[in-house]
Structure 1
């Protein structure tokens, strides 16, 4: 009789794997059930997934992937090159890749690409434009069995069929998803034979269930409430930096933030560590640029202390010696601390003669759509992801694209660097290019950069070497073996 590992999460959904998401709890389930051509490595970078090797042309427009031999889906049908191409083409459709407020995320990169199976194990992707960071996109290119496409296109996502390390055996009323190890997976077999993802929205209840032995893994625990796990010999408290950036988007198309001096002044005025301590009680790390320290090509500064004198000088030089009122759009959740954060930022900015007039939004989805449609006053509370420097630049900074979360910012030098990065297939050269872009976006900030959250994950037993994957997604193949669990039914 086998045992089952219970994983508690604040969200639990079986979504369409070709709809773009950065929700870590959704991605954890996707990664358990599905594979892409590549997977995230534990410490960053990419490792083989369905593809055992790949190569890219010098102009970064033609990518060739060679599949492993003998791949099969959970329904025992073969996973060959044409099956992979079918999923990539589906992912590239204009009606797919939808995330909150932003349609067609993958279409902008793959919509004009020729995706072809040249034989049973070889896939060629010919891009309309060079993308040296294509793996940033394909890591989310989950491959769905052809037998399931019609069902998914009808909106039924309840019976996923992938090639991943686990296959689904049951989903219970949106409260529980049960998985069992797929013995024909291409990788090293995960040590745990059976998993149960359970929904528990209350972090206190997740912690209690971990302590009582009802769960072996509890994700997104309260930072302060979980501290006593540090001294417990029977549990592990793992803290990981999440590459999501908590920011304020500046409306640079009009108003005060069309002036780069005002954008820079606010970034110089805020005390990020004080905000972290006050608003999230230490559960974050100060952010000094447009992407996290975990991002490829980031170049964070050690000194993030405010410079009020320089901030005041810039405000006066911009013509606001008598003060400046800024109108702020603020959601009531996502991030959940948005109101408290805005109050704390308002207090700090008063030191340079800046006041905030706050407009609250309770409907988070409508709020996101409003941002996408550029219906933002002067600035708005937001977050930025995923773990791709290229995608953040292309989707949020490049004025030529004017993407869903772009609000009028323009820096031609940064756009030139992005074009260089698109073409450069040498990782060290590309990293240096993105470091230049990072520094340019510190000198001329697109947003008000604040912090990266920390996530606490609790595990049963002592596992001092265990850590969350760099992208902040729970990799079930990397979970330790747990000493005692509830027998599976």
Structure 2
């Protein structure tokens, strides 16, 4: 009897993989169906996927990827360099890479690149500017079979055809996605012959499905309720750090947060662990910089204690010794705890004479568009999600890029460090550059840094060594065989 697994998760859809998303449930589906040139490695970094190897010139502008032999799509057609280039070129269009109000995410990096099939097994990418972290982008460069592209262009994404470890059997929108192992996949054979992704938005119901045996994997479980799994002896509870940063964006165009001393004072004043305990019941880890500890080149602070005396001194120096009122835009979801978080933050900041005047927004997509259009008050609740230190600096902090989520911040030292990192191929040297940028953005913060959420995944059976991938996306190729008890690859 062939092994199978049911994965239950709060979000499920079959969308266009060339539209940028950081939603972990969506990426789990994409990674099951498609490949890029590279994949995330089990222990960090990148490993070969469609590409067996790659080279980059010392100036980080010209990349060459050599494809594996005999690659094929799920429909039996060959996956050669021309097919790869066709998908990368489509991904780089200004109308693609659209997510929550930010069009052309990939276009800003690849829009003016020369993407060429040198021969059937060689892809060349010639960039106009150096990008030493190009693999951060190409890991999401999913390759679609040319035979399916016409349907995608017509808006029909329900029949995906990729090269990934699983192929589509059937799709029931709003309910389930049925997949079968693709025997022509280039990688190590996944343990489960069949997979079913099921949609269940209720956390309690997902936990019940796991405990009752209706599902073998349940994602995004309630942090407290899922602790019951540890007592059964028949389940595994895995807690993973989500690299998404929960933050408040500071409006550095106008108002009190144009002053670096005020921005730093707010970061010094808050007790992050107290916020976590009160608002998300411990389901997060404190964030002390612009990227998470999972990010390349991060340098988290060991000291998490608030320093309200120093915060008060900075506010006094900035001319706010008699108090300060800050206007805050707050959505009612994404993050879903935004209202409770803002209320708790207001209590903490009152200790240094800061008052928050809160403006609620119920339409989350309109809210994101408003942020992109710089239509925010003094600060707003938001998140920062790419697992790429380079992308966050380039898209959200570099003044010269004027990115969708940039709100007027400028730090010449950090921009110089970004330029150096772009052209530094050696990863050890580049990590040191990013560490300097991390420190500089602790001294001069563009945002109010709060926390990284923790995500709980439940598995049927005892798998003490199983871990989520570093981007907190479920990699179905690493799932164990739930019927035979064999470990994951």
TM-score (norm 1): 0.98
Q: What are the equivalent positions in structure 2 for 1:78-477 lying under 5 Å apart?
A: 78-477=78-477
Q: Cα offset for 1:484?
A: 7.2
Runs of 4+ in structure 1 displaced over 3 angstroms?
A: none
SS at match of 2:115: strand
For 2:94 and 2:355, how far apart are their aligned partners in 1? 42
CA deviation string 1:421-441 (max 9, x = no partner): 000000000000000000000
- The answer to whether the 8 A contact 1:44-1:471 is kept is no
SS at match of 1:205: helix
Aligned to 2:8: 8
For 1:287 and 1:142, how far apart are their aligned partners in 2? 31
- The answer to whether the 8 A contact 2:4-2:483 is kept is no
State which drifts further: 41-50 or 427-436: 41-50
State which drifts further: 371-380 or 1-10: 1-10
SS at match of 2:299: coil
For 1:392 and 1:50, how far apart are their aligned partners in 2? 26
For 1:425 and 1:317, how far apart are their aligned partners in 2? 42
CA deviation string 1:170-228 (max 9, x = no partner): 00132100000000000011010000000000000000000000000000000001111
Q: Cα offset for 1:282?
A: 0.4
CA deviation string 1:388-419 (max 9, x = no partner): 00000000000000100000000000000000
For 1:213 and 1:3, how far apart are their aligned partners in 2? 14
Q: Cα offset for 1:322?
A: 1.0
Unaligned runs of 5+ in 2: none
CA deviation string 1:291-338 (max 9, x = no partner): 000000000011111000000011111111111000000000000000
Q: Cα offset for 1:385?
A: 1.2
For 2:213 and 2:160, how far apart are their aligned partners in 1? 29
For 2:447 and 2:459, how far apart are their aligned partners in 1? 36
For 1:225 and 1:344, how far apart are their aligned partners in 2? 23
Q: Cα offset for 1:3?
A: 4.2
Q: Cα offset for 1:258?
A: 0.2
Aligned to 2:48: 48
For 1:449 and 1:234, how far apart are their aligned partners in 2? 38
For 2:168 and 2:368, how far apart are their aligned partners in 1? 32
Q: Cα offset for 1:483?
A: 2.5
For 1:206 and 1:399, how far apart are their aligned partners in 2? 43
For 2:4 and 2:271, how far apart are their aligned partners in 1? 46
- The answer to whether the 8 A contact 2:13-2:173 is kept is no
Residue correspondences, number: 485
- The answer to whether the 8 A contact 2:393-2:418 is kept is yes
For 1:483 and 1:237, how far apart are their aligned partners in 2? 18
For 1:21 and 1:309, how far apart are their aligned partners in 2? 41
For 1:231 and 1:301, how far apart are their aligned partners in 2? 34
SS at match of 2:44: coil
- The answer to whether the 8 A contact 2:2-2:192 is kept is no
CA deviation string 1:78-112 (max 9, x = no partner): 00000000000000001101111100000000000
For 2:263 and 2:317, how far apart are their aligned partners in 1? 13
For 2:54 and 2:305, how far apart are their aligned partners in 1? 44
TM-score (norm 2): 0.98
Q: Cα offset for 1:2?
A: 2.8
CA deviation string 1:221-261 (max 9, x = no partner): 00001111112210000000000000000001100000000
Q: Cα offset for 1:43?
A: 2.1
SS at match of 1:180: strand
Aligned to 2:70: 70
- The answer to whether the 8 A contact 1:330-1:338 is kept is yes
SS at match of 1:148: helix
- The answer to whether the 8 A contact 1:421-1:434 is kept is yes
- The answer to whether the 8 A contact 1:461-1:483 is kept is no
For 1:374 and 1:368, how far apart are their aligned partners in 2? 10
SS at match of 1:400: helix
For 1:63 and 1:230, how far apart are their aligned partners in 2? 47
SS at match of 1:226: helix
For 2:43 and 2:452, how far apart are their aligned partners in 1? 18
For 2:20 and 2:348, how far apart are their aligned partners in 1? 36
For 2:393 and 2:340, how far apart are their aligned partners in 1? 29
